[in-house]
Structure 1
Amino acid sequence: MTYPRLALLVAAACVPVPVAMAGEMPADRYIVHFSDRVSAAAARHPRVSHARSTRIAQPVHVRTLAAGGEVFDVHGLDPGVLASMAGVIDIEEDRIVTPAGRLTTLWHRQWYMHDPRVGIDAEVAWRYTKGAGSVVAVLDTGIAPHPQLVGQLLPGYDFVSDAAAARDGDGRDANPADEGDWSDAGECGSSTASESSWHGTHVAGLVAARSPDGRGMLGVAPEAKVIPVRVMGKCGGRLSDVADAIVWASGGELPGVPAIARRADVINLSLRTPGACGTALATAIGQARSRGVAVVAAAGNDGIRASAVSPSNCAGVVSVNALARDGSMAWYSNHGDGVTLAAPGGSLTTFGADDILSTVDGGKRGSEGRPLLKYYAGTSMAAPQVSALVALMRSADPAIGVEAITRQLVDNARPLPGPCPKGCGAGLMDAGATVDAVVEDRGKP
Structure 2
Amino acid sequence: MSPRCFMLALTLFTAVPATAATRYIVRFADEASANAAIASVPKAEAAMRRKRSVDAGQPRHVATLAGGAQIFEVEDDNPAHFARLHGVTSVEEDRIVRPTALADPLYLRQWSLHDPRSGIDAEAAWKYTRGEGAVIAVLDTGATPHPELDGQLLPGYDFVSDAVRARDGDGRDPDPRDEGDWEEPGDCGRRAGSRSSWHGTHVMALAAAKRGNRLGITGVAPEARILPVRVLAHCGGYLSDVIDAIAWASGGEVPRVPTLTRRADVINLSLVTEGACGAAMADVIRQARERGVAVVVAAGNEGVGASGMAPGNCPGSINVGALDRGGRLAWYSNHGEAVTLAAPGGSLRGLRTDDLISAVDQGARVPWRSVFGYLAGTSMAAPLVSGVVALMRSADPSLHVDDITRHLVDNARPARCLKPCGTGLLDAGATLDAVIEERVVL
2:395 alignment partner in structure 1: 396
TM-score, length of structure 2 as denominator length: 0.76
Query: What's the offset of the Cα at 1:402?
Result: 0.4
Partner SS, residue 441 of structure 1: helix
Asked if 2 retains the 8 angstrom alpha-carbon contact of 1:102 and 1:377, the reply is yes
In the aligned structure 1, how far is the partner of 2:398 from the partner of 2:3?
Answer: 34
Q: Is the 8 A contact 1:136 1:264 kept in 2?
A: yes
The answer for the alignment partner of 1:433 in structure 2 is 430
CA deviations over 1:340-369 (Å, ceiling 9, x no partner): 00000000113312000100111100112x
Three-state SS of the structure 2 residue aligned to 1:295 is strand
Give the distance between the partners of 1:438 and 1:193, measured in 2 at CA.
46
What is the alpha-carbon root mean square deviation over aligned residues?
1.1
CA contact (8 A) 1:102 1:381 kept: no
User: Which residue is equivalent to 1:409?
Assistant: 408
Matched, 1:268 2:268: yes
User: Residue 251 of structure 2 contacts residue 291 of structure 2 at CA under 8 Å; is this kept in 1?
Assistant: yes
Aligned to 2:6: 105
Q: Which residue of 2 aligns with 1:347?
A: 347
Q: For the residues of structure 1 that align with 2:402 and 2:155, how far apart are their CA atoms?
A: 28
The amino acid across from 2:397 in the alignment is: P
Q: How many residues align?
A: 343
Q: 1:117-170: per-residue Cα shift (whole Å, max 9, x none)? A: 111000000000000000000000000000011000001000000000100000
CA–CA distance in structure 2, aligned partners of residues 363 and 273 of structure 1:
27
SS state of the match for residue 188, structure 1? helix
Residue aligning to 1:383: 382
Contact 1:265 1:394 in 2 (8 A): yes
2: distance between equivalents of 1:225 and 1:353? Answer: 27
Task: Judge conservation of contact 2:161–2:171 (CA < 8 Å) in 1.
Answer: yes
Counterpart in 2 of 1:144?
Answer: 144
1:102/1:227 Cα in 2 relative to 1: closer, same or farther (>3 Å)?
Answer: farther
Identity %: 63
- Displacement after TM superposition at 1:105 (Å): 3.3
CA distance in 1, matches of 2:136, 2:3: 20
The answer to whether residue 350 in structure 2 is matched with residue 357 in structure 1 is no
Q: What amino acid is aligned across from residue 366 of structure 1 in structure 2?
A: V
- Aligned residue for 1:271, secondary structure, equals coil
The answer on whether the counterparts of 2:250 and 2:288 sit within 8 Å (CA) in structure 1 is yes
User: Which amino acid letter does the alignment assign opposite residue 395 of structure 2?
Assistant: A
Equivalent residue for 1:288?
288
- Cα distance in 1 between the residues matched to 2:394 and 2:4: 32
| 1: CA distance, partners of 2:436 / 2:230 | 33
1:444 Cα deviation from its structure 2 partner: 4.0
Task: Determine the C-alpha separation between the residues in 2 that align with 1:232 and 1:443.
Answer: 41
What does 1:19-418 correspond to in 2, within 5 Å? Answer: 101-105=2-6, 108=106, 109-368=109-368, 370-416=369-415, 418=416
Q: Is the 8 A contact 1:136 1:225 kept in 2?
A: yes
Displacement of 1:295 in angstroms is 0.2
Which TM-score applies when normalising by structure 1? 0.76
Distance in 2, matches of 1:343 and 1:388, equals 11
Q: Is the 8 A contact 2:358 2:373 kept in 1?
A: yes
Q: Is the 8 A contact 1:103 1:377 kept in 2?
A: no
State the match for 1:33 in structure 2: none
Is the CA contact (8 Å cut-off) linking 2:135 and 2:225 kept in structure 1? yes
Q: Secondary structure at the match of 1:104?
A: coil
The amino acid across from 1:440 in the alignment is E
Q: Is the 8 Å Cα contact of residues 212 and 218 (structure 2) preserved in structure 1?
A: no
Which entry has the higher C-alpha Rg, 1 or 2?
2
Contact 2:138 2:226 in 1 (8 A): yes
CA separation in 2, counterparts of 1:286 and 1:257? 21
Tell whether the 8 Å contact from 2:231 to 2:241 is kept in structure 1 after alignment: yes
* 3-state SS, counterpart of residue 336 of structure 2: coil
Which amino acid letter does the alignment assign opposite residue 436 of structure 2? V
How far apart, CA to CA, are the structure 2 residues paired with 1:296 and 1:257? Answer: 23
